[in-house]
Amino acid sequence: MLTWLIALPVIAAVIVALVPKRLKELHLPLGIALSVLPLALAGYVFWIFEPVAGYQFRQQAVWYEPWGISWSLGIDGISMPMVLLTTILVPISLAASTSITRRTKEFVVYALLLEAGMIGVFLALDLFLFFVFFEAILIPMYFIIGIWGGERRIYAATKFFIFTAFGSALMLAGIIALAFTHAEQFGSASFALSDLMNLELATGAERWLFAAFALAFAIKVPLFPLHTWLPDAHTEAPTAGSVLLAGVLLKLGTYGLLRFNLSLFPQASVDAVWIMGTLAVIGIIYGAVVAIVQPDLKRLVAYSSVSHLGFIVLGTFALTSGSLQGAVIQNVNHGLTTGALFLLVGMIYERRHTKQISDFGGLQKVMPVFAGFFLFMVFASIGLPGLNGFVGEFLILIGSFTTLPALTIVAAIGVVLAAIYMLWAYERVFTGVPDKEENRVLSDLSIREISILAPLVVLVLVLGLYPKILLDKIAPSTEAVLDHIESQTEFVIPEPGRLGDVFVAGGDQE
Amino acid sequence: MIATPDVSWIAILPELVLALGAVAVLLVDVQWKPATRVLGVISAITLVVAISFTMLQWAQAGDALEFGGLGALVAFSGMVVMDGFAVFGRFVLLVMTGLGLLAGWKLIESLNRRGAEAIALVLLATTGFSIMVASNNLVMMFLGLEIGSISLYVLAGMTREKIKADEAAMKYFLLGSFASAIFVYGVALLYAGTGQLEILAIRQFFTEFFVTSPAVILIGLALIIVGLGFKVSAAPFHSWAPDVYQGAPAGVVGYMAAMAKIAGFLAIARVLLTGVPQLDANWLPVIAGLSALSMLVGSIIALVQNDVRRMLAYSGVAHAGFILTGIVGGATTGMLFYVSVYAIQLVGAFAVVAVVSGPGSSGSSIDEYRGLARRSPALGAAFAVLLLGMAGLPLTSGFIAKFGVFSEAWANGYGWLVIVALLASVIAFAFYLRVIVVMYMDETEEEAVLVSATTRWVLGIAVIGTVLAGILPAPLIDMAANAFPL
């Protein structure tokens, strides 16, 4: 079944590619229709997913025996939300791409291949396979930014590619080293995550390997100071590219840190809590401060991503039940809200062909529906209670306070800053009188645009009001990660920090 | 009545066929002046027969490896060997010759009467390199090297009315002969030190004797490495490659480059791994240094090239470094896999160059590729796949190849080399991407380019091979793993 989850988008891409060029109008609708299939399957997986620890629906086929590589897939509470998010965002971002009139067919094909790669990354339980997907997604994303992007698209695309490739090169060295360590200790090379988790690593080696993996993922996240590719890539990418980039691609980094760094290198992770936490908090504050002064709406949202992703990394390395659950669910939340914000920015850009905040003003009067959606997503993004952003940030902050109190207090300033940059931007764009001639004639959202945004609004509300629906399925898997760390190291999570200790997750959220 | 000695002809059957084929092409051409097409049929038959004999050899030498290499044999008084290594190399050489002839067919046709010479030279070059990978005797290796190289020098100057091609041929000839001389000098010193010319006997010598001051031997070995390093264009012996790749007629460059690389690397591996494994403490660091230097020099200088051929030449320098990491790993599996998949990418890439710039052209500015993917989508996509394959992106053979040699080097304790190699691979992404950017992201008003049927075949095979070996590498790796030298 999981193989189908990867195969469906590929098959869809092939079908779209086979539709001849003269049926130009058909490519995009067909792509959207076909991309609903993986969503349906992912929804089914979510439905029958048991809220227990460990991987479900496992599939395994030997790829090349002597190297110990295999086609090994599985899904657990950490990867399931990500797969679901991916399959939701792809049809939405395709539906939002009607403004792409040039080379539509190629665009749809690349987007679908990108979807297959992203799902593959989340499902892979073999490090070799994981790496293959991790690298393979660079190509379609590179083309999406490079062909359909803005003015400086080639610079942005190449920067994105080289930054990420640099990180993954060192990770590949780390993966090779792990496989050989396995060969030394158990007699045969293996790339299976479950095998490699049992390795006995010397402290020095473990730290180096941790660093190699962490660097690759930190570039993806992106963690301060490796974030410089992100604003460029986001600003230049077409709307669909930005949505998928923010919604899913960045999550590969936070997902990787949680899945691989914590599980493979528990001791090094414990030792690195302060370093990673500090970098995360610097990212939170720095991203927020820089976002305040951005004159470009899309860049502002991009920098807000740096800030939000900082929270996720902080939660990941705070190593408590609450913070880990918060990190996972915040991955989803950020994908939904930031994805929606990029869609909204894209919609106004299609009308006005500018993203400069100073070019707008008083849009509320001209486009009330648009303003409503925007304000709703702004509130979701800054974490207004009742909306999804609150759940994630609250869990992360309260969970992290147990282990990293000082950093958490500083991080909380980020929440305030988020309110500043988001609301100030809203104020400048939407309130006041529409004094510019061009702005007075803008048309409000069409039914199509509203129906693109509606599912996101619903999800934001559902996750904000009833996060249990997702948290119940996440919790056993994050607990398993913590159990693994506690069993491998002398680190004991201070009380109250685990699910059993009254305060977190379950208790308050119900 | 003189008794003829007992000779295992099977060991050199493919070479005999190739040489006869080359002679036949020339004689038929002189006698009947047929259409070039007829000569093509003769060379095709020659290749098919030679490949069949190679498969026969593989059945004997390759199969027997499972039983301890019983089927492998040393023939002609120790001159040549027929082991899995030689047969594998010969097989790859023959396949590349077939693809090379197909890719260069436009050029051969355009040469009119001299087309026959080109075909004969191609077959002779393959004969030489084929002997070279199968030689057990260093003098035999030299002969093979020279037969092959001299044919290539002439091929490089095939379009002699073009001054660029003349220059390329001359440069290649002068520097190549110089390198060959250095190689022979090295052989002489190795002979002076050990009293042996046969590679197997040299290994025997080191197991029997302990050489207290091996200075002469080491100098000899160093000279051999320099000579062969030149042929495979490893840095710092690479300076000829960009000029030759740029100047020689586009139709044959891919073939020339692939041949010299395959034979050169197999010869390096045979001399070092079969001949002097006991001296590895001496040569491993040297090869590792050459490897690191080649990777860095190749990738970095390729970044600033504005001619696709020069870019491919420098990328070839980088690839030489990557392949050498396999030898640093002390194993031949990864290296053989790498050489075979890289050779096919190289032939494919230059087939594209020959289409874009014309088969007899010299030089191929990156501007000629502007919007290629819009003008000729299939051609652009094929070139993109080949470039990504060379860059070593997952799902292409290049990734598996890199992974293979890097793992070997890592296992042999050269972790630092692997890290250098990985960083060099990232640098290399940049220049491969640059071509893809120009092809896909620039618009142009120019016309579509026509791709001939022969080139379509070459590109089809190269692309399918690159993707297939990237997704299902097992058969080829298993073959390479069975193809170790005696």
Q: Does the pLDDT value for residue A306 go beyond 50? A: yes
Residues on chain B touching A157 (C-beta within 8 angstroms): 437
Question: Which residues, at least 6 apart from B180, have a Cβ–Cβ distance to it below 8 Å?
Answer: B142, B145, B146, B149, B227
How close, in Å, is residue B297 to chain A by CA atoms?
18
Q: Is A294 found in the same domain as A387?
A: yes
Could you tell me the sign of the dihedral formed by the alpha carbons of B454, B455, B457, B458, in that order? Answer: positive
Q: Tell me how many degrees the CA angle A462-A463-A466 measures, rounded to the nearest 5.
A: 75
Q: Is the pLDDT assigned to residue B283 strictly greater than 70?
A: yes
Chain B touched by A165 (CB under 8 Å): yes
| DSSP H or E segment with residue B211 | none
The whole-angstrom separation of Cα A311 and Cα B209 is 67
* Position B223, amino acid: L
**Domain end (from A172, A197, A213):** A213
pLDDT bin (cut points 50, 70, 90) of residue B57 is confident
The reply to whether residue A142 touches residue B433, judged by beta carbons under 8 angstroms, is yes
Question: CB–CB of A12/A37 below 8 Å?
Answer: yes
Instruction: Give, as one character, the DSSP assignment of residue B38.
Output: H
Chain centroid, CA A504 distance in Å: 24
Question: Lowest-pLDDT range, A326-335, A462-471, A489-498, B7-16?
Answer: A489-498
Nearest CB to B426; choose among A136, A143, A162: A162
Cβ atoms of residues B108 and B255 within 8 Å:
no
**Residues A157-183, mean pLDDT to the nearest whole number:** 87
The continuous run of DSSP H or E covering A445 comes out as none
Residue A126: helix, strand or coil by DSSP? strand
Are both A364 and A475 inside the same structural domain? yes
Q: Are residues A162 and A283 in the same domain?
A: no
Residue B74 phi/psi, 5° resolution? -105, 125
- Write down the residue that tokens 């012996």 correspond to: B237
Closest CA to B101 of B456, B458, B379: B458
Q: Is A146 part of the contact surface with chain B (CB cutoff 8 Å)?
A: yes
Take residue A207 and report the two structure tokens written for it.
């730290």
Look at B415 and A146 and tell me if their CB atoms are within 8 Å.
Answer: no
Measured between CA atoms, how close is A15 to chain B, in angstroms? 17
A127 C-beta neighbours (distance < 10 Å), count? 27
Asked whether residue A363 falls in the same domain as residue A432, the answer is yes
Residue of A nearest to B409 (CA): A176
Structural domain for A271, as ranges: 265-510
Residue A405 CB coordination number (10 Å): 9
Between the alpha carbon of residue B339 and those of residues B316, B336, B416, the distances in Å are 11, 5, 22
* Residue A139 contacts B, CB cutoff 8 Å: yes
Contact criterion met (CB < 8 Å) for B411 and A67: no
Q: Would you call A180 and B411 a contact, using CB atoms and an 8 Å cutoff?
A: yes
The answer on pLDDT for B354 being more than 50 is yes
- A138, A162, A172: residue with CB nearest B422: A172
Q: Which of B295, B376, B403 to mutate to test the interface with A (most CBs of A within 10 A)?
A: B403
Last residue of a domain, one of A179, A213, A247: A213
With bands split at pLDDT 50, 70 and 90, how would you rate the model's confidence at A390?
confident
Q: Which helix (H) or strand (E) holds B21?
A: helix B13-32
- B281, with CB counted inside 10 A (0-12, 13-18, 19+), is exposed
Within a domain: B461: yes
Chain B: closest CA distance from residue A460 (Å): 36
Q: How many domains does chain A have?
A: 2
Cβ–Cβ below 8 Å for B440 and A147 = yes
Q: Residue B80 domain-assigned?
A: yes
- Chain A residues closer than 8 Å to B322 by CB: none
- Closest alpha carbon to B352 in B327, B321, B373: B373
Note the helical H segments in A124-249.
127-136, 138-148, 153-186, 193-196, 203-220, 229-236, 239-244
Position A23, amino acid: L
Same domain, A54 and A200: yes
C-alpha–C-alpha distance, residues A75 and A90, integer Å = 20
Q: What is the pLDDT of residue A452?
A: 87
Under a CB-based contact definition with an 8 Å cutoff, are residues B384 and B373 in contact? Answer: yes
Contact between B155 and B121 under an 8 Å Cβ cutoff? The reply is yes
Which residues of chain A does B474 touch, with a Cβ-Cβ cutoff of 8 Å? 63-65
Closest listed residue to residue A489, CA positions, set A273, A174, A180:
A273
- pLDDT score of A279 more than 60: yes
| pLDDT (0 to 100) of residue B2 | 67
Which residue, B294, B243, B305, is CA-closest to B264? B294
Evaluate whether residue A440 is within a structural domain.
Answer: yes
Give the best residue of B325, B370, B372, B393 to mutate against chain A (max A CB count within 10 A): B393
What's the rounded mean pLDDT across residues A198-218?
87
How many structural domains comprise chain B?
Answer: 1
Same domain, A299 and A156: no
Q: How far apart are CA B323 and CA B406, in angstroms?
A: 9
The answer to whether the beta carbons of residues B221 and B190 sit under 8 Å apart is yes
Using the predicted structure, report yes or no on whether residue B262 has a pLDDT greater than 70.
yes
The pLDDT value recorded for residue B5 is: 65
Quick count: other Cβ atoms within 10 Å of Cβ B148? 25
Shortest CA gap A308–chain B (Å): 29
Q: Does one domain contain both A107 and A179?
A: yes
pLDDT for the residue numbered B68:
46
- Geometric angle at alpha carbon A210, from A207 and A213, rounded to 5°: 150
User: Are A64 and B418 an interchain contact pair (Cβ–Cβ within 8 Å)?
Assistant: no
pLDDT tens column, A451-461: 888 888 998 88
The whole-number average pLDDT for the span B263-292 is: 91
Asked if residue B15 lies in contact with residue B131, where contact means CB atoms within 8 angstroms, the answer is yes
Same domain, A397 and A503: yes
- The residue out of A213, A232, A254 marking a domain boundary is A213
Mutate to test the interface with B, among A127, A129, A143 (most CBs of B within 10 A): A143
Pick from A371, A29, A99: nearest CA to A240: A99
Across chain A, what does the average pLDDT equal? 85
Within a domain: B262: yes
Burial A250-289 (b: 16+ CB within 10 A, else e): bbbbbbbbbbbbbbbbbbbbbbbbeebbbbbbbbbbbbbb
Average pLDDT, chain B: 88
Residue A428 lies in a domain: yes
Contacts of A131 in chain B (CB under 8 A): 394
Residue A192 lies in a domain: yes
Higher pLDDT, B4 or A184: A184
Asked if residue B234 is part of any domain, the answer here is yes
In 3D, which of A280, A271, A125 has the Cα closest to residue A201? A271
Q: How confident is the model at residue B187 (pLDDT cuts 50, 70, 90)?
A: very high
Residue by residue, DSSP assigns A282-315 as HHHHHHHHHHHT-SBHHHHHHHHHHHHHHHHHHH
CA A200 to chain centre: 31
Q: What is the spatial distance between Cα A130 and Cα A124, in angstroms, rounded to a whole number?
A: 5
- Asked whether residue A471 is assigned to any structural domain, the reply reads yes
- A389 located within any domain: yes
Using a CB-CB distance cutoff of 8 angstroms, which residues of chain B are in contact with residue A162? 426, 429-430
What does the CA dihedral B247, B251, B255, B257 come to, rounded to 10 degrees? 20
Query: Å from B425 to nearest chain A CA?
Result: 8
> Is pLDDT above 50 for A510?
no
Question: A161, B395: Cβ pair inside 8 Å?
Answer: no
Task: Flag if A154 and B437 touch (Cβ within 8 Å).
Answer: yes
In a shared domain, residues A194 and A287: no
The tokens of B470 are what?
């990237």
**pLDDT over 90 (residue B131):** yes
Model pLDDT, residue A507: 44
Query: Is the CB of residue A7 less than 8 Å away from at least one CB of chain B?
Result: no
Residue A182 lies in a domain: yes
DSSP B11: G
pLDDT of residue A430 exceeding 50: yes
Q: How far is CA B247 from CA B57, B156, B308, B361, in A?
A: 38, 8, 12, 8
- Domain shared by A316 and A406, yes or no: yes
User: Are the C-beta atoms of residues B96 and B258 closer than 8 Å to each other?
Assistant: yes
| Rounded distance between C-alpha atoms, residue A174 and residue A191, angstroms | 11
Separation of alpha carbons A160 and A140, rounded Å: 12
Number of Cβ pairs < 8 A linking chain A and chain B: 73
Residue linked to tokens 């609903």: A36
Find which of A55-69, A228-242, B336-350, B424-438 is predicted with most confidence, using mean pLDDT: B336-350
Interface test with B, best of A63, A121, A132 (most B CBs within 10 A): A132
Whole-number Å distance between alpha carbons of A171 and A218: 11
Looking at residue A36, its pLDDT comes to: 86
Return the residue of B nearest to A129 by Cα: B394
Residue B1 lies in a domain: no
- The residue assigned the tokens 């300033």 is A413
Q: Which structural domain range is residue B407 located in?
A: 9-482
Q: Choose among A133, A139, A162: nearest Cβ to B430.
A: A162
pLDDT of the residue at B66: 52
| Touching B: A residues 169-188, CB under 8 Å | 169-170, 172-173, 176-177, 179-180, 183
CA distance A315 to chain B (A): 31
Alpha-carbon distance A22 to B116, whole Å? 46
Is A413 contained in some domain? yes
Asked whether B402 and B392 are in contact (CB, 8 A), the reply is yes
What is the distance in angstroms between the Cα of B261 and the nearest Cα belonging to chain A? 26
Whether A363 and A474 map to the same domain: the answer is yes
pLDDT bucket at B362, cuts 50 / 70 / 90: confident
Inspect the interface and report whether the beta carbons of B410 and A180 lie closer than 8 Å.
yes
CB contact under 8 A, A146 and B395: no
Interface test with B, best of A6, A103, A142 (most B CBs within 10 A): A142
What pLDDT score does A464 carry? 86
Tens of pLDDT, residue by residue over B136-178, are 999 999 999 999 999 999 998 888 788 888 888 999 999 999 9
Closest CA–CA distance from residue A201 to any residue of chain B (Å):
17
pTM: 0.88
pLDDT of residue A144: 87
Question: Distance (Å, rounded) from C-alpha A153 to C-alpha A147?
Answer: 7
**Domain identity same for A205 and A284:** no
Percent of chain A with pLDDT over 90: 8
Residue B284's pLDDT band, with cuts at 50, 70 and 90, is very high
Rg (CA), chain A: 22
- Does any domain span residue A231? no
User: CA A70, CA B29: separation in Å to the nearest integer?
Assistant: 55
